[in-house]
Protein backbone atom coordinates (compact mmCIF):
# COMPACT_ATOMS: atom_id res chain seq x y z
CA UNK A 1 0.00 0.00 0.00
CA UNK A 2 1.34 3.47 -0.85
CA UNK A 3 0.13 6.74 0.61
CA UNK A 4 0.96 10.38 -0.06
CA UNK A 5 1.72 13.22 2.36
CA UNK A 6 1.64 11.16 5.54
CA UNK A 7 3.55 14.06 7.11
CA UNK A 8 1.53 17.04 5.85
CA UNK A 9 3.29 19.67 7.98
CA UNK A 10 6.75 18.58 6.89
CA UNK A 11 5.47 18.54 3.33
CA UNK A 12 4.31 22.15 3.62
CA UNK A 13 7.46 23.37 5.32
CA UNK A 14 10.11 21.47 3.36
CA UNK A 15 9.68 20.63 -0.33
CA UNK A 16 12.09 17.69 -0.08
CA UNK A 17 9.65 15.95 2.25
CA UNK A 18 7.07 15.26 -0.42
CA UNK A 19 6.42 12.02 -2.19
CA UNK A 20 5.12 8.54 -1.63
CA UNK A 21 5.75 6.56 1.54
CA UNK A 22 4.94 2.87 1.57
CA UNK A 23 3.11 1.41 4.53
CA UNK A 24 2.57 -2.21 5.46
CA UNK A 25 -1.15 -2.97 5.56
CA UNK A 26 -0.97 -5.53 8.37
CA UNK A 27 1.34 -3.71 10.82
CA UNK A 28 0.63 -0.09 9.72
CA UNK A 29 4.40 0.51 9.82
CA UNK A 30 6.07 3.01 7.49
CA UNK A 31 8.97 2.32 5.14
CA UNK A 32 11.95 4.11 6.70
CA UNK A 33 13.86 3.78 3.42
CA UNK A 34 11.28 6.00 1.70
CA UNK A 35 11.50 8.64 4.45
CA UNK A 36 15.31 8.82 4.38
CA UNK A 37 15.37 8.75 0.59
CA UNK A 38 13.07 11.77 0.43
CA UNK A 39 15.06 13.73 3.04
CA UNK A 40 18.43 13.07 1.36
CA UNK A 41 17.38 12.81 -2.32
CA UNK A 42 19.38 9.56 -2.46
CA UNK A 43 18.50 6.07 -3.64
CA UNK A 44 16.76 3.48 -1.45
CA UNK A 45 20.01 1.50 -1.24
CA UNK A 46 21.85 4.58 0.02
CA UNK A 47 19.00 5.17 2.48
CA UNK A 48 19.56 1.70 3.95
CA UNK A 49 23.18 2.59 4.68
CA UNK A 50 22.12 5.84 6.35
CA UNK A 51 19.61 4.01 8.53
CA UNK A 52 22.20 1.43 9.58
CA UNK A 53 24.59 4.19 10.61
CA UNK A 54 21.87 5.96 12.60
CA UNK A 55 21.13 2.70 14.42
CA UNK A 56 24.81 2.29 15.27
CA UNK A 57 25.29 5.89 16.44
CA UNK A 58 22.02 6.25 18.36
CA UNK A 59 21.13 3.36 20.72
CA UNK A 60 17.69 4.88 21.32
CA UNK A 61 16.63 3.40 17.99
CA UNK A 62 17.38 -0.14 19.22
CA UNK A 63 14.32 -2.29 18.67
CA UNK A 64 12.40 0.53 17.01
CA UNK A 65 13.64 0.01 13.47
CA UNK A 66 12.62 -3.40 12.21
CA UNK A 67 13.26 -5.34 9.02
CA UNK A 68 10.37 -6.58 6.91
CA UNK A 69 8.64 -6.59 3.56
CA UNK A 70 5.80 -4.33 2.51
CA UNK A 71 2.73 -6.59 2.36
CA UNK A 72 5.13 -9.57 2.26
CA UNK A 73 6.31 -8.57 -1.20
CA UNK A 74 9.65 -7.49 -2.61
CA UNK A 75 12.91 -7.12 -0.71
CA UNK A 76 13.55 -6.55 2.98
CA UNK A 77 13.25 -2.93 4.05
CA UNK A 78 13.45 -0.96 7.29
CA UNK A 79 10.05 -0.41 8.91
CA UNK A 80 9.10 2.01 11.70
CA UNK A 81 5.95 3.12 13.49
CA UNK A 82 4.65 6.66 13.19
CA UNK A 83 6.45 8.13 16.23
CA UNK A 84 9.77 6.58 15.24
CA UNK A 85 9.27 7.84 11.70
CA UNK A 86 9.15 11.46 12.83
CA UNK A 87 12.16 10.96 15.15
CA UNK A 88 14.10 9.36 12.31
CA UNK A 89 13.30 12.33 10.08
CA UNK A 90 14.76 14.64 12.76
CA UNK A 91 18.05 12.74 12.87
CA UNK A 92 18.36 12.66 9.09
CA UNK A 93 17.64 16.40 8.96
CA UNK A 94 20.26 17.30 11.58
CA UNK A 95 23.07 18.13 9.20
CA UNK A 96 20.80 19.57 6.56
CA UNK A 97 18.11 21.57 8.30
CA UNK A 98 18.11 23.55 11.52
CA UNK A 99 17.14 21.05 14.20
CA UNK A 100 15.11 23.57 16.23
CA UNK A 101 13.00 24.34 13.18
CA UNK A 102 12.39 20.70 12.38
CA UNK A 103 11.53 19.96 16.01
CA UNK A 104 8.89 22.69 15.95
CA UNK A 105 7.24 21.22 12.87
CA UNK A 106 7.43 17.76 14.42
CA UNK A 107 5.27 19.01 17.29
CA UNK A 108 2.74 20.50 14.85
CA UNK A 109 2.79 17.17 13.01
CA UNK A 110 1.87 15.32 16.19
CA UNK A 111 -0.94 17.81 16.84
CA UNK A 112 -2.23 16.99 13.37
CA UNK A 113 -2.19 13.29 14.21
CA UNK A 114 -4.25 14.04 17.32
CA UNK A 115 -6.70 16.03 15.16
CA UNK A 116 -5.83 19.23 17.06
CA UNK A 117 -4.75 21.22 14.01
CA UNK A 118 -5.37 21.25 10.28
CA UNK A 119 -2.13 22.30 8.52
CA UNK A 120 -4.03 22.90 5.29
CA UNK A 121 -5.97 25.74 6.91
CA UNK A 122 -4.63 29.03 5.40
CA UNK A 123 -4.14 30.65 8.81
CA UNK A 124 -2.27 27.63 10.15
CA UNK A 125 -0.01 27.62 7.09
CA UNK A 126 0.63 31.35 7.57
CA UNK A 127 1.63 30.72 11.19
CA UNK A 128 3.91 27.86 10.10
CA UNK A 129 5.76 30.11 7.66
CA UNK A 130 6.06 32.90 10.24
CA UNK A 131 7.43 30.51 12.85
CA UNK A 132 9.91 29.12 10.36
CA UNK A 133 11.34 32.58 9.70
CA UNK A 134 11.51 33.36 13.44
CA UNK A 135 13.38 30.14 14.20
CA UNK A 136 15.76 30.67 11.30
CA UNK A 137 16.66 34.11 12.68
CA UNK A 138 17.09 32.70 16.19
CA UNK A 139 19.42 29.93 15.02
CA UNK A 140 21.51 32.32 12.93
CA UNK A 141 21.87 34.69 15.89
CA UNK A 142 22.91 31.82 18.14
CA UNK A 143 25.49 30.67 15.59
CA UNK A 144 26.91 34.21 15.39
CA UNK A 145 27.17 34.40 19.21
CA UNK A 146 28.93 31.01 19.32
CA UNK A 147 31.43 32.17 16.71
CA UNK A 148 32.23 35.33 18.69
CA UNK A 149 32.53 33.39 21.94
CA UNK A 150 34.94 30.95 20.30
CA UNK A 151 37.12 33.85 19.11
CA UNK A 152 37.13 35.31 22.64
CA UNK A 153 38.20 32.00 24.15
CA UNK A 154 40.93 31.48 21.55
CA UNK A 155 42.33 34.98 22.20
CA UNK A 156 42.15 34.53 25.98
CA UNK A 157 43.98 31.19 25.85
CA UNK A 158 46.67 32.55 23.52
CA UNK A 159 47.32 35.55 25.77
CA UNK A 160 47.57 33.29 28.82
CA UNK A 161 50.17 31.14 27.07
CA UNK A 162 52.20 34.17 25.96
CA UNK A 163 52.27 35.65 29.48
CA UNK A 164 52.32 32.39 31.48
CA UNK A 165 49.02 33.42 33.04
CA UNK A 166 45.98 31.62 34.39
CA UNK A 167 42.67 31.66 32.52
CA UNK A 168 39.33 32.14 34.28
CA UNK A 169 41.11 32.89 37.56
CA UNK A 170 39.00 33.43 40.68
CA UNK A 171 39.33 36.98 41.99
CA UNK A 172 37.87 36.61 45.47
CA UNK A 173 34.78 38.75 44.81
CA UNK A 174 31.50 38.00 46.54
CA UNK A 175 29.98 36.98 43.19
CA UNK A 176 32.86 34.53 42.55
CA UNK A 177 33.72 36.39 39.36
CA UNK A 178 36.62 35.23 37.21
CA UNK A 179 39.29 37.21 35.42
CA UNK A 180 39.96 36.20 31.80
CA UNK A 181 43.74 36.09 32.32
CA UNK A 182 45.59 36.63 35.60
CA UNK A 183 49.37 36.90 35.81
CA UNK A 184 51.61 37.76 38.75
CA UNK A 185 51.42 41.42 37.79
CA UNK A 186 48.27 42.00 35.69
CA UNK A 187 44.53 41.30 35.68
CA UNK A 188 43.61 41.15 31.99
CA UNK A 189 40.04 41.36 30.75
CA UNK A 190 39.61 40.31 27.09
CA UNK A 191 36.75 41.90 25.18
CA UNK A 192 35.55 42.74 21.64
CA UNK A 193 35.57 46.46 20.92
CA UNK A 194 31.83 47.03 21.45
CA UNK A 195 32.13 45.72 25.05
CA UNK A 196 35.05 47.93 26.06
CA UNK A 197 33.09 49.76 28.78
CA UNK A 198 32.07 46.50 30.42
CA UNK A 199 35.64 45.22 30.22
CA UNK A 200 37.00 48.46 31.66
CA UNK A 201 34.92 48.11 34.82
CA UNK A 202 35.75 44.42 35.19
CA UNK A 203 39.50 45.03 34.83
CA UNK A 204 39.40 47.67 37.59
CA UNK A 205 37.48 45.41 39.99
CA UNK A 206 39.56 42.29 39.33
CA UNK A 207 42.83 44.19 39.69
CA UNK A 208 41.66 45.65 43.00
CA UNK A 209 40.84 42.24 44.45
CA UNK A 210 43.98 40.52 43.12
CA UNK A 211 46.33 43.45 43.91
CA UNK A 212 47.57 43.59 40.32
CA UNK A 213 47.50 46.15 37.49
CA UNK A 214 44.30 46.36 35.40
CA UNK A 215 44.47 45.69 31.65
CA UNK A 216 41.75 45.86 29.00
CA UNK A 217 42.68 43.78 25.95
CA UNK A 218 40.60 44.40 22.81
CA UNK A 219 40.25 41.68 20.17
CA UNK A 220 40.80 42.31 16.43
CA UNK A 221 39.96 46.04 16.51
CA UNK A 222 41.25 49.25 18.08
CA UNK A 223 39.54 51.73 20.36
CA UNK A 224 39.07 55.35 19.32
CA UNK A 225 41.56 57.84 20.74
CA UNK A 226 39.04 59.27 23.20
CA UNK A 227 38.15 55.81 24.44
CA UNK A 228 41.80 54.99 25.05
CA UNK A 229 42.12 58.28 26.93
CA UNK A 230 39.26 57.34 29.25
CA UNK A 231 40.89 54.01 30.06
CA UNK A 232 44.26 55.62 30.74
CA UNK A 233 42.64 58.29 32.93
CA UNK A 234 41.26 55.66 35.31
CA UNK A 235 44.53 53.74 35.40
CA UNK A 236 43.72 50.90 33.01
CA UNK A 237 46.27 49.87 30.39
CA UNK A 238 44.92 49.13 26.89
CA UNK A 239 46.35 46.20 24.96
CA UNK A 240 45.28 44.71 21.64
CA UNK A 241 45.17 41.16 20.32
CA UNK A 242 45.20 41.48 16.54
CA UNK A 243 46.17 38.83 13.96
CA UNK A 244 47.03 36.52 16.85
CA UNK A 245 49.66 38.96 18.12
CA UNK A 246 49.61 40.82 21.43
CA UNK A 247 50.25 44.57 21.16
CA UNK A 248 50.85 46.49 24.37
CA UNK A 249 50.31 50.25 24.36
pLDDT digits (tens, 9 = 90+) for 75-133: 889 998 877 887 777 677 655 444 555 555 566 555 555 555 555 566 665 665 666 56
Q: Is the pLDDT assigned to residue 143 strictly greater than 90?
A: no
Residue 3 has a pLDDT of 41
Under DSSP, is residue 195 helix (H, G, I), strand (E, B) or coil?
helix
Beta bridge partners of 242: 245
Q: Is the pLDDT assigned to residue 18 strictly greater than 60?
A: no
Residue 2 has a pLDDT of 41
Query: Cα separation of 142 and 138, whole Å?
Result: 6
Query: Cα separation of 226 and 27, whole Å?
Result: 74
User: Is the model more confident about 10 or about 89?
Assistant: 89
Residue 135 has a pLDDT of 55
Q: Enumerate the H helices of the chain as residue ranges.
A: 8-13, 32-40, 44-57, 82-93, 99-113, 122-163, 196-210, 225-233
Residue 38 has a pLDDT of 75
In sequence order, the 6+-apart residues with CB closer than 8 A to the CB of 171 are: 177, 178, 179, 182, 187, 205, 206, 209, 210
Residue 191 has a pLDDT of 95
CA separation, residue 1 to residues 24, 27, 29, 69, 223 (Å): 6, 12, 11, 11, 68
167 alpha carbon, distance to own chain's centre: 25
Q: Is the pLDDT assigned to residue 204 strictly greater than 70?
A: yes
On whether the CB atoms of residues 119 and 112 are closer than 8 A, the answer is yes
Average pLDDT over residues 173-198: 91
The DSSP secondary-structure symbol of 171 reads -
Q: Is the pLDDT assigned to residue 239 strictly greater than 50?
A: yes
User: Is the model more confident about 123 or about 9?
Assistant: 123
Average pLDDT over residues 179-198: 94
Average pLDDT over residues 204-228: 94
User: Is the model more confident about 239 or about 128?
Assistant: 239
Q: How many alpha carbons lie under 13 Å from residue 166 in its C-beta half-sphere? A: 12
Amino acid sequence: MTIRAIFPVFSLAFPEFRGRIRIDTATRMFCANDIVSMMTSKSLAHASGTIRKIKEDHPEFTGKIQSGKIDNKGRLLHLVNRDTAITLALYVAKGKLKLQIVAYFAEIEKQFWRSEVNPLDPQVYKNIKKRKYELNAMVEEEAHYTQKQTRHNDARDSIAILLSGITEAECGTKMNERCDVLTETHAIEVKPRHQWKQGLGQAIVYARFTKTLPVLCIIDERLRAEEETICTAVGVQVWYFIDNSLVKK
